[in-house]
Structure 1
Amino acid sequence: MSEVSVVDDQEKHRFEGWVGSELAGFADYQLTDELIVFTHTEVDEAYEGQGVGSAIAGHALAAVRDDGSRKVLPLCPFISGYISRHREFVPLVYGAPPSTAKD
């Protein structure tokens, strides 16, 4: 896998994954006061299966967690699937029940 750098292009409302100088994929979002709604993720065919989508999703969800001001509404099937495979992001999901795990 090539190294993917992910940036939040706030003007376009999307997280972008770049491999070198090539835009390899993106995850579109919409913002409300309380939510970030992920609506669509797309990876260029040339980069499919190389971890670009996962890099974008992981970076985007970590940014939301670190910011702490919004919950996630994952309408995009890719982002939703990523969350289901990376359970540490479940608490970010809007409407998710609080964890009952003991520390």
Structure 2
Amino acid sequence: MSPSSSTEVTHRTERNRYEISVDGTFAGIAAYEVVDGVTVFSHTVIQDAFEGQGLAGTLVDEAIADVVARGGTFAATCSYVEHWLTKHHQHDDALVDVPQP
């Protein structure tokens, strides 16, 4: 990603995911499901052409920030999100255990 590139994270509620694009080109997703009112992030994927640019972290940060801004709580079963949460604690107040069926 060049210094002049722009990224955009979009919430696609109809697909239960957040998408990130770079200069208008689709670059990846953070998928989730809502379980008992908790947004559970289950899968994060960045397209090969965009790997190594920090986009997964940007995507996860903005997706979680959106959930929190709407007054929600979140959890993670995605290994990437779980790892990201060990290094980023700005949303810890809204982090909950994964709801059990």
Category of TM-score, reference length = shorter chain: 0.7 to 0.9
C-alpha deviation, 1:83, in angstroms: 1.5
Which aligned runs of 4 or more in structure 1 are off by greater than 6 angstroms?
Answer: none
Counterpart for residue 6 of structure 1: 9
Equivalent residue of 2:33, what SS? strand
Match of 1:75, as an amino acid? T
TM normalised by structure 2 equals 0.85
Using the alignment, how far apart are the partners of 2:82 and 2:74 within structure 1? 10
Q: Is 24-33 or 5-14 further displaced after alignment?
A: 24-33
Deviation at 1:89, TM superposition (A): 1.6
**CA RMSD after TM alignment:** 1.3
8 A contact 1:84–1:90 mirrored in 2: no
Query: Which runs of 5 or more structure 2 residues have no equivalent in the other structure?
Result: none
Per the TM alignment, residue 93 of structure 1 is displaced from its structure 2 partner at its CA by 1.2
Q: Does 1:59 align with 2:27?
A: no
Sequence identity of aligned pairs in percent? 29
TM-score, structure 1 normalization: 0.84
**Equivalents in 2 of 1:33, 1:72: separation in Å?**
11
